[in-house]
Amino acid sequence: MHALFREFDWRNPARIPAIYHVQPPHSVLAILLADEDGNVRAEAETYLSTLSSHERLEVLMAASSAKAE
C-alpha cells in the first residue's frame, strides 16, 4: 500500500490535504495510484468507488497521460 494511503483517509475527500487538490482534478492522486502500465492499484478501488463515472474517468486518463510523459 502506498504510504499516502496509510497517512490519509482517501475515502473522505474533505480530509485530503489541499496540496493534493490540483488541476486537472485528481492528477496527483492518479499518478500515485498508477503502476508502470497505468493500471490503478487495488488499494485505490475504495476511493474510486466514491467518485462519479466522470471523475473516475479523469483519474484514469490522468494516470495514463502521466505515465506517457
Q: Is the dihedral of CA 45, 48, 53, 54 positive or negative?
A: negative
Q: How many domains does the chain have?
A: 1
pLDDT value of position 63:
63
53 is in which domain, residue-wise? 3-68
- The three grid cell numbers given for residue 57, joined into one nine-digit string: 474517468
pLDDT value of position 24:
44
Does 24 sit behind a cis peptide bond, omega within 30 degrees of 0 on the bond before it? Answer: yes
Is 3's pLDDT higher than 60?
A: no
What are the residues whose beta carbons fall under 8 Å from the beta carbon of 55, sequence distance 6 or more? 25, 26
pLDDT digits (tens, 9 = 90+) for 11-69: 566 655 554 544 444 555 665 666 556 565 655 666 677 777 887 777 667 666 655 55
